[in-house]
Chains A and B, each alone.
Chain A
Amino acid sequence: MTMAETIRLALRLLEAGGKVWPKAGLSTLAFLFLAASTAAQEGDPEKGAKLFKACKSCHEIGAEARNGVGPHLDGLFGRQAGILDGFKYSSAMKKQGEEGLVWNEFTLDQYLKKPRAYVPGTRMSYRGMSRDAERTHIIAYLKTLSSEAPAENPTAAKPHRPEMGAAAMDLTGDPDYGEYLSSECVTCHQITGRADGIPSIVGWPKEPFIRALFEYKTNVRSHQVMQNMTINLGNEEIAALAAYFGSLDPQ
């Protein structure tokens, strides 16, 4: 039994006993397990800030953070998994939250190590951070910012700023056209929103979706299949795809 399973079993036992499980209690329990295991070393938030660059294209943290491809991370510690209003979580993540998964040093450490193993069915496409020390650093960094207040309406579209793909962002995409075009995408990207080795693209906000396609098209993001797929897509097609995939809910 892994440490995560041990904790969750303990949680379920407590719930079964009809007790309300205080968040403070959870972190105490997690801390005990944590102390008993390996992660006694201190994380370095500065190193964590550098590592967080890999997360930034999807997650915001700190003052005025908003939801993007991933949920914002303000108030993360002690938060039940999968509960931010307005964010399209996978049903797997919501279920884990309902069954007692709360984010803290320990659960984050386990999740970041191998997301798809810890929450099977998660939409998060990140493959995992295998080095123990790196996860400690990144968690230390998250702690320095997560008590900031998020934007008033974190799911609202961002104020427009000029950047790559702006012309496509100004268009109103036709979701029907997008559905037709999407048939080329769903050969690899599952329509259910599951990520099993190929990123989930279901339920993304318009802006990051369009930006990602332009970044593939111009080889800012380097990937042979995606470059080939996007090379002939025009603004109207990209806007249509963003409108269609953005309209879907992950399962």
Chain B
Amino acid sequence: MPRISRRTFGGLMGAGAASLALPYYARAQGKPRAVVIGGGAGGATAARYMAKDAGEDLNVTLIEANPKYTTCFFSNLYLGGYRDFESITHGYDKLASNYGITVVNGRAEAVDRDAREVTLADGSKVPYDRLIVAPGIDLIYDSVPGYSEEASEIMPHAWKAGPQTQLLKAKLDAIENGQQIVMVAPPNPYRCPPGPYERVSMMAHVLKQKGFNDSKIVIIDPKPKFSKQALFQEGWDKHYPGMIEWYGPDVHGGIASVDPQTGEVETDLDTFKGALVNVIPAQKAGGIAAQAGLANDSGFCAIDPKSMRSQADDNIFVIGDASIAGDMPKSGFSANSQAKVAAMAIRGDLLGSKVFPAKYSNTCWSLIETNDGVKVGAQYAPSAEKIASTSSFISQTGEDDAVRQATYEESVGWYKGITTDIFGA
């Protein structure tokens, strides 16, 4: 059963949060302190599992910059008109009230690993015995020449769900028949491998519904192949014949630049002009990971596959998109799975509770057109050098309509399940 917190969420989230902060955290002395940076699919799950399983024996603090979280997963369904924005946006109130987690609405600016404390943007400090770093991704804007954070107001990336997603939808809904959409897809490794291609499917769904048969969607991809490629391409031929064109690097020859003023994407092959250009640049671990010295040259953070413990610091765990998780894709499901392993390891560290062998799993569902859902998934276990896949599956081309519909309905059930698992019930 959830326990009732002696701490109150409202006081922290209110206007007086900064002035209350210091004495507030100081009160936490005496019990071991677990702190989580980042309230997404990984961080919020980890905080909830630690608080749920440790009860009063552990102080759990969740630091998150935004008061609400919009899930990247299912944000493409919002683009396609299957979901409203509210339905993919979640608050932290249950984590505070039902599990006794101290939810701090602030931005973590620095981690002092020697002093074991996190400094927030307002200058307050949060001490920890064990820290989970779950910042998700940062975008490397200049990985695409001509692209920048300012340019993303014209050419949205929408690869972090929120206002960017709403901007992309507004631009999609403003497309007129005959106008072209161009997507610049990201290089590996990136968040949500099937995401760009599900997004294109949802864009095509909107255009088809409006009868905009003269419009096209062009994908300029730096990768020679992509996740669920056969399934997506079969679906595009079936539902949106002639509408979607995908160019791999052997065709376009390389992405030279983008120009937000003209809406052009220049490649070695040709210049593509879009009324809407969606640029998804290369990615790295969220900034706090590099600041804390946890990221390596790849931009992501090496971990111990048995526990998600950072290879750079025994007191710190890195989960979700920021970690190098071997065969696991960067997904909300993966982050949720890794969070449970890290939460168990921390309870073992701080409370001596039993630590079972790590198990990980992932499934990614994608929607191609109404009631045409596909999925890919695997189970994983730690090997000596990485988190390794032990078994896997993928939807088959040519499946029955009924199977595809059941897969879509399953994904809707999964969304309800995982968001309950992340944000509490």
Contact = CB atoms under 8 A, between A and B. Distances in A.
Contacts of A192: 420, 425
B197 interface: no
B356 A180 contact: yes
A9 interface: no
Interface string B333-365: 100110010001000000000101001010100
A164 interface: no
Contact of B393 (A183, A190, A224): A224
Given A197-B410, A224-B375, A191 B421 contact: yes
Nearest to B341: A183
Given A197-B413, A228-B393, A231-B391, A188 B418 contact: yes
Nearest to B408: A197
A42 interface: no
Contacts of A37: none
Contacts of B128: none
A184 B425 CA distance: 17
Contact of A198 (B337, B361, B395, B417): B417
A187 B375 contact: no
A189 B363 CA distance: 13
Contacts of B363: 188, 225
Counting chain B residues whose Cβ lies within 8 A of the other chain, the interface size class is 20 to 34
A227 interface: yes
B417 A228 contact: no
A225 B375 contact: yes
Given A183-B340, A187-B336, A224-B395, A232 B390 contact: yes
B41 to A, nearest CB: 10
Interface of A is mostly: loop
B153 interface: no
B414 interface: yes
Interface in B373-393: 375, 377-379, 381, 390-393
A186 B379 contact: no
Interface residues of A, number: 27
Interface string A46-59: 00000000000000
Contact of A187 (B390, B394, B412, B418): B418
Contacts of A197: 409-414, 416
Contact of A225 (B377, B381, B412): B377
A196 interface: yes
A229 interface: yes
Interface string A167-208: 000000000110011011011111110111110000000000
Contact of B417 (A176, A189, A231): A189
A186 B421 contact: yes
Contacts of A184: 337, 340, 359, 361
Contact of B344 (A180, A190, A232): A180
A190 B418 CA distance: 8
Interface in B209-267: none
Contacts of B409: 127, 197
A231 B361 CA distance: 12
B390 A229 contact: no
Contacts of B394: 224
B416 A229 contact: no
Given A227-B393, A229-B361, A231-B391, A187 B416 contact: no
A187 B337 contact: yes
A228 B425 contact: no
A194 B420 CA distance: 11
Given A188-B414, A224-B394, A231-B379, 19 more contacts: A183-B340, A184-B337, A184-B340, A186-B417, A187-B337, A191-B421, A195-B413, A196-B412, A196-B416, A197-B410, A197-B414, A197-B416, A198-B414, A224-B395, A225-B363, A225-B377, A228-B378, A232-B381, A251-B425
24 contacts: A176-B354, A181-B359, A183-B49, A184-B337, A187-B336, A187-B337, A187-B418, A190-B416, A192-B425, A194-B416, A195-B413, A197-B412, A197-B416, A198-B410, A198-B413, A198-B414, A198-B416, A224-B393, A225-B375, A228-B379, A228-B391, A228-B392, A231-B379, A232-B391
